């Protein structure tokens, strides 16, 4: 049974709203063009991560999940359930909404897409498009049909270190000057409502998806309830950003490591980790692995205990036990 972390090679996606910050901020070798997304831990067919180290080097995460279920606490799900990204918004993303599980499975053969963002960077005055003001489905449909975006769309100011939970059915969009670590269900279903009349590479407006978007938007919008907590462990801090019952699908934590932080698997099936600032090391089964900003890895289920050392900030997550 493997007693090592699974370090993963990220996959990059060009986006009309992307930039070059993923190279300058993390040292990634990114393709030419406006790169908006780093798919850091992914078993989704639109960008599957490959293991970079150890016994499973060269294997992709989707195959490993299927062929080595003991690494993931023998899950019942037929696909890796979570997807971790870094998004670099050099421009505005389209105003969009994601469906829940039932609608997504029925119409797209995908999981639904509930997601959340930890804000890594935000320019002064940065904001998200988040939520809406319509009080009824009829009011929502009318304002969409009439393009009354200023009246309909909510705005949420954000700064570095903020955390935003985005349940399926929530209208949302990043705007320019924001970089986030995104934890989400493993789904690539997005329904665009509004795209600022931008033209795609073909010189034509990008496709909108108004009918399915109207089907899945939650009306009226209510701000999600998210209860956070922090625990001091020596000089280090473990902050739970979201967990059940607020989030049915996953738990997300921020680890601020000062000197040393010991962790144990407990009832978690496995743990997804992204090192987002600082440097240090990870010790697993008596072996140490250097860590630096921009690395992403999975602690598989057979690893009972591990220790972070150094000066590090990580975002970690795991699927809700028994959910998948």
Active-site amino acid positions: 192
- How would DSSP label each residue in 58-121? T-BHHHHHHH-GGGGTS-S-SS--EEEEEEEESSPPPEEE---HHHHHHHHSS----EEEEEEE
Of the CA atoms within 13 Å of residue 296, those in its CB half-sphere come to: 25
Report d(CA 52, CA 39) in Å as an integer: 15
Torsion angle in degrees (nearest 10) through CA of 96, 100, 105, 108: 0
The greatest distance separating any two alpha carbons of the chain, rounded to the nearest whole angstrom, comes to 63
Report d(CA 43, CA 154) in Å as an integer: 33
Tokens 């996959």 label which residue? Answer: 11
């Amino acid at each position: 049974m493997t007693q090592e972390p699974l370090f993963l090679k990220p996959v990059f996606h060009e986006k009309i709203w992307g930039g070059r910050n993923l190279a300058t901020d993390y040292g990634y070798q990114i393709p030419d063009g406006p790169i908006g997304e780093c798919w850091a831990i992914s078993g989704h067919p639109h960008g599957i991560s490959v293991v970079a180290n150890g016994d499973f080097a060269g294997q992709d995460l989707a195959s490993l999940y299927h062929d080595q279920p003991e690494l993931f606490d023998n899950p019942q799900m037929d696909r890796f359930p979570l997807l971790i990204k870094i998004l670099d918004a050099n421009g505005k993303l389209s105003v969009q909404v994601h469906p829940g599980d039932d609608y997504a499975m029925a119409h797209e053969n995908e999981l639904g897409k509930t997601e959340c963002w930890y804000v890594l960077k935000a320019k002064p005055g940065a904001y998200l498009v988040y939520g809406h003001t319509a009080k009824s489905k009829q009011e929502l449909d009318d304002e969409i049909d009439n393009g009354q975006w200023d009246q309909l769309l909510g705005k949420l100011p954000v700064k570095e270190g903020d955390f935003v939970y985005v349940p399926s059915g929530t209208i949302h969009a990043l705007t320019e000057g924001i970089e986030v670590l995104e934890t989400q269900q493993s789904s690539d279903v997005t329904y665009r409502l509004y795209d600022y009349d931008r033209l795609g590479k073909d010189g034509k407006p990008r496709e909108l998806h108004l009918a399915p978007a109207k089907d899945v938007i939650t009306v009226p919008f209510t701000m999600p309830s998210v209860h956070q907590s922090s625990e001091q462990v020596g000089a280090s801090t473990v902050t739970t950003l979201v967990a059940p019952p607020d989030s049915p699908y996953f738990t997300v934590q921020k680890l601020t490591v000062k000197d040393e932080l010991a962790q144990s698997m407990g009832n978690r099936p496995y743990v997804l980790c992204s090192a987002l600032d600082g440097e240090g090391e990870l010790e697993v089964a008596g072996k140490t692995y250097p860590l630096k900003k921009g690395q992403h890895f999975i602690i598989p289920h057979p690893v009972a205990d591990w220790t972070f050392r150094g000066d590090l900030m990580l975002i970690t997550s795991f699927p809700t036990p028994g959910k998948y």
